[in-house]
Amino acid sequence: LAFTSSAWAQSSYPERTVTVVVPFAAGGPTDTVTRLVAESMSKDLGQQIVVENVGGAGGTLGAGRVASADPDGYTLLLHHIGMATSATLYRKLAYDTLNAFDYVGLVTEVPMTIVARKDFEPTDLKGLVEYARANADKVTVANAGIGAASHLCGMLFMSAIQTPLVTVPYKGTGPAMTDLLGSQVDIMCDQTTNTTKQIKGGTIKAYAVTTPQRLDVFPDLPTTDEAGLPGMQVSIWHGLYAPKGTPPEVVEKLSQSLQKALADPNVVARFAELGTVPSPASDATPAALKAKLEGEITRWKPIIEAAGQYAD
């Protein structure tokens, strides 16, 4: 029979629930982006997609879980820039970053915001820099562990001010935000997906965005360039991955579904509210994600090696 059973199985993929692992705690930006995209893909594929939060070690535990999962298309990973930076930050990972995954496609590009508890003394970025330098042994910086986007951005901040601060790691910036709102921690650098609502609500203070241009969602919030930290720029791209060896027909079907999800009016509208920019359909492809991951590992390696002295 020319039409092999596996080809038949793949053409009817998915026949059962698909799990997407988010390598951070529930309630954070990676979780939020994933649930929005998964909801749309689920409708398109006609199967339930469940999101499983596997936090810890800055996202590398969750990535490792998917790297060792069956390559059958039923366990996927939605991860961000941390997939690239962890390749430099960790001497030993449970997976080989460039050989453990098949690529489905890019999902978003998300700005970061430098934020603080609402009762924190400094009123602008310049004041924050001065205060942090003068109180380095007291100022606490929340992040989601070594390899997280919040860790990378915090490292860039401490490197820019040439002052190591006290870092407080969480399993995701969802729980970190809870502590920021409770004034249990002083500052954080986090994705607009997680900070937009709080900034608009005045429940946290915002100092700057880490993009070259100001954001439509916050026209009065200065860029780091304008606010006195030129060059401190970082945007958080997210990618959807499958374990290496997943049937190409399955990867292609997932990529097609992802492209449709990113054009889904509901997804586009929600992303806009969150200051999250969906990747263009042309980037929701295996080739685009592969190129992005390889390029970003190369780009961030020297930056991390230079800045690493400021962040544990």
The 183-212 site mask, x for binding ligand MLT (CB under 6 A), equals: -------xx---------------------
Q: Is 109 in the site for ligand MLT (CB under 6 A)?
A: no
Nearest-CB residue for ligand MLT: 28
Nearer to ligand MLT, 127 or 308 (CB): 308
Q: Is 144 in the site for ligand MLT (CB under 6 A)?
A: yes
Nearer to ligand MLT, 42 or 191 (CB): 191
Give me the least distance between CB of 191 and ligand MLT, in Å please. Answer: 5
Q: Is 169 in the site for ligand MLT (CB under 6 A)?
A: no
Looking at 28-36, 69-77, 200-208, 209-217, which segment touches ligand MLT (CB under 6 A)? Answer: 28-36
Q: Which member of 10, 30, 159, 195 binds ligand MLT (CB under 6 A)? A: 30
Distance CA 178, CA 173 (A): 8
Start-to-end CA span in the chain (Å): 58
Give me the least distance between CB of 136 and ligand MLT, in Å please. Answer: 22
Q: Is 28 in the site for ligand MLT (CB under 6 A)?
A: yes
Q: Is 174 in the site for ligand MLT (CB under 6 A)?
A: yes
Q: Is 149 in the site for ligand MLT (CB under 6 A)?
A: yes
Q: Is 271 in the site for ligand MLT (CB under 6 A)?
A: no
* Residues near ligand MLT (CB under 6 A): 24-25, 28-30, 82, 144, 148-150, 172-174, 190-191
